[in-house]
């Protein structure tokens, strides 16, 4: 790849980049997959996992290659996700060039929504895990929302960590805790391994889009790829590194989802960690470790939308910039807490938010960018392929939203989902 002024201050080699991709993939999304297997059936879940894994691998690689093409075409040193969207329109067909700036802004807003969604799920995860432990140790039963509100001061403090320099140690420790927690959980899933023949291969059609959205949430790392590409010594190697990472994650996540469902079947909780036996010291330790991991990662997840949105309004505060940023961060935490309190059901809420944003970031926006970037050389295969991916996006958006809303309505109507 021709380097037009790209300043490689870091010069990540391929192995280091692959490790960053792997670390970025370690998150709490995988813990929801056994519940998704329970809803959709193991055979359908495996099929959907493979399909979504291949689709996301293709779209992320296409996004990176388009960014590289646009850098060469326009002699630009580097592009982030939103800027790639903007430039693809500005150099695409004449009819859409005037919408380039708008497309870039819309992309940034959706990225912010994705991370806002993750922050809400993090709050719900830590609060519900804390509730399970407190009920076990002290036999004190309170409404879910009390635990969410009790967590508010802690997430406030984490949200005020100002930059990546101070957030990185929290992120590294959180990723390490999550890796340890998932590894020990696998031990419990393999313990007294049950016969898979008793599992349901298929259930109903409606939960399938919900499972796909859960898998998208677990697999999501598209916003990490271009920053890594901008820091690589050989950025042309990134597509194959992404392919290896995504296919590895698809296999590991599918295996984890199947093992969790195979172990607990219809009793599988919203996160499989809740199924671990509380009477065992190791299981209690892992519940605490993973909760701490999610909590420590909150600041990094919350930082992304702040870093995008705050510069847009910073000039309006003149001499009160620090005060304005503090208020802005505080309002963001209030918004995430209000949404968590309003719908304290992790799986339906996660699927709903993923249907509204994650599908767009992982499927729709990359194929729109690819179509605009390659319009002059577009083949029939490219157009048919991208139309097909767009149709899949529409199906996941519509039916994933419907199933998630129905699940939320059932919860408010007092009808609990079968399981934990």
The residue-averaged pLDDT of 325-354 equals: 89
Query: Residue 143: left if φ>0, alpha if ψ -120 to 50, beta else—which one?
Result: beta
The residue-averaged pLDDT of 356-369 equals: 94
Cα–Cα distance measured from residue 99 to residue 110, given in angstroms and rounded to the nearest whole number: 16
The residue-averaged pLDDT of 405-415 equals: 75
- With CA atoms as reference, report the closest residue to 333 among 151, 163, 173, 168: 151
3-state secondary structure of 308: helix
More confident residue, 276 or 16: 276
The residue-averaged pLDDT of 94-105 equals: 93
| Structure confidence at residue 9 (pLDDT) | 46
- Report helix angle 238-264 to 33-40, nearest 10: 70
| Structure confidence at residue 395 (pLDDT) | 94
Per-residue exposure over 178-217, b if at least 16 CB sit within 10 Å of its own CB, e if not: beebbebbeebbeeeeeeeeebeeebeeebbbbbbbbbbb
Q: What is the secondary structure of 78-144 as a DSSP string?
A: ---HHHHHHHHHHTS-GGGGGGHHHHHHHHHHHHHHHHHHHHHHHHHHHHHHHHHHHHHHH-----H
Cα–Cα distance measured from residue 14 to residue 17, given in angstroms and rounded to the nearest whole number: 5
3-state secondary structure of 12: strand
The residue-averaged pLDDT of 311-334 equals: 87
Residue 98 burial (10 A CB sphere; 0-12, 13-18, 19+): exposed
Whether 174 shows a pLDDT value over 80: the answer reads yes
Beta bridge partners of 232: 12
Cα–Cα distance measured from residue 167 to residue 159, given in angstroms and rounded to the nearest whole number: 10
Residue 55 CB contacts under 8 Å (≥ 6 apart), including other chains = 363, 389, 392
Whether 49 shows a pLDDT value over 70: the answer reads yes
Cα–Cα distance measured from residue 212 to residue 63, given in angstroms and rounded to the nearest whole number: 21
| Structure confidence at residue 25 (pLDDT) | 75
The residue-averaged pLDDT of 98-118 equals: 92
The residue-averaged pLDDT of 251-258 equals: 94
Given CA atoms 24, 25, 31, 33 in this order, what sign does their dihedral have? positive
pLDDT tens-digit readout, 120-165: 999 999 999 999 889 888 888 888 899 999 999 999 999 998 877 7
Cα–Cα distance measured from residue 358 to residue 53, given in angstroms and rounded to the nearest whole number: 14
Whether 418 shows a pLDDT value over 60: the answer reads no
Cα–Cα distance measured from residue 95 to residue 262, given in angstroms and rounded to the nearest whole number: 53
- With CA atoms as reference, report the closest residue to 245 among 21, 10, 17: 21
Whether 39 shows a pLDDT value over 60: the answer reads yes
Question: Sorting pLDDT into bands at 50, 70 and 90, what band is 1?
Answer: very low
Residue 353 burial (10 A CB sphere; 0-12, 13-18, 19+): buried
Residue 167 burial (10 A CB sphere; 0-12, 13-18, 19+): buried
Contact 207, 46 (CB under 8 A): no
**Does the pTM of the predicted model rise above 0.75?**
yes
Alpha helices by DSSP H, 354-379: 359, 365-373
Lookup: tokens for 241: 């590194």
Q: What is the secondary structure of 137-189 as a DSSP string?
A: HH-----HHHHHHHHHHHHHHHHT--SHHHHHHHHHHHHHHHHHHHHHHHHHH
pLDDT tens-digit readout, 209-247: 989 999 999 888 777 787 777 777 788 888 998 899 899
Cα–Cα distance measured from residue 365 to residue 83, given in angstroms and rounded to the nearest whole number: 12
CA angle 193, 129, 255 (to 5 degrees): 30
Question: Sorting pLDDT into bands at 50, 70 and 90, what band is 319?
Answer: confident
Whether 173 shows a pLDDT value over 80: the answer reads yes
Q: Calculate what percentage of the chain has a pLDDT beyond 90.
A: 49
| Structure confidence at residue 162 (pLDDT) | 82
Whether 358 shows a pLDDT value over 60: the answer reads yes
The residue-averaged pLDDT of 50-55 equals: 95
Q: Write down the mean pLDDT value for the chain.
A: 87
Whether 10 shows a pLDDT value over 60: the answer reads no
The residue-averaged pLDDT of 333-352 equals: 88
Lookup: tokens for 289: 């470790």
């Amino acid at each position: 790849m021709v380097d037009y002024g790209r300043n490689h201050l870091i010069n990540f080699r391929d192995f280091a980049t692959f490790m960053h991709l792997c670390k970025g993939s370690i998150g709490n999304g995988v813990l929801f997959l056994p519940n998704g297997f329970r809803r959709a059936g193991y055979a359908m879940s495996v099929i959907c996992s493979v399909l979504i894994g291949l689709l996301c691998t293709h779209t992320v690689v296409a996004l990176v290659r388009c960014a590289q093409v646009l850098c060469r075409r326009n002699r630009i040193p580097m592009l982030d996700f939103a800027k790639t969207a903007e430039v693809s329109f500005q150099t695409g067909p004449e009819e859409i060039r005037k919408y380039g700036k708008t497309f870039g802004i819309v992309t940034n807003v959706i990225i912010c929504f994705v991370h806002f969604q993750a922050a809400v799920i993090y709050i719900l995860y830590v609060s519900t895990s804390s509730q399970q432990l407190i009920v076990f140790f002290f036999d004190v039963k309170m409404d879910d929302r009390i635990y969410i509100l009790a967590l508010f001061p802690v997430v406030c403090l984490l949200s005020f960590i100002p930059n990546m320099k101070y957030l990185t140690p929290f992120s590294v420790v959180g990723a390490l805790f999550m890796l340890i927690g998932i590894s020990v959980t696998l031990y419990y899933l393999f313990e007294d391994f049950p016969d898979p023949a008793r599992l349901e291969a298929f259930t109903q059609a409606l939960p399938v889009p919900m499972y796909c959205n859960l898998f998208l949430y677990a697999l999501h790392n598209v916003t990490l790829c271009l920053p890594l590409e901008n820091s690589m010594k050989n950025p042309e190697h990134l597509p194959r590194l992404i392919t290896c990472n995504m296919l590895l994650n698809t296999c590991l996540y599918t295996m984890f989802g199947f093992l969790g469902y195979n172990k607990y079947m219809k009793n599988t909780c919203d996160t499989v960690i809740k199924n671990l036996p509380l009477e065992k010291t190791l299981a209690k330790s892992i519940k605490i470790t993973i909760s701490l991991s999610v909590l420590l990662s909150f600041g990094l997840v919350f930082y992304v939308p702040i870093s995008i949105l705050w510069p847009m309004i910073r000039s309006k505060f003149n001499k009160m910039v620090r005060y304005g940023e503090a208020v802005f961060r505080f309002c963001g935490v209030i918004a995430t807490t209000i949404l968590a309190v309003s719908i304290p059901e992790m799986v339906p809420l996660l699927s709903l938010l993923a249907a509204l944003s994650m599908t767009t970031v992982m499927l729709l926006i990359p194929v729109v960018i690819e179509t605009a970037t390659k319009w002059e050389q577009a083949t029939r295969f490219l157009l048919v392929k991208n139309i097909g991916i767009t149709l899949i996006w529409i199906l996941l958006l519509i039916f994933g939203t419907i199933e998630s809303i129905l699940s939320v309505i059932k919860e408010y109507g007092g009808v609990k989902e079968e399981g934990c």
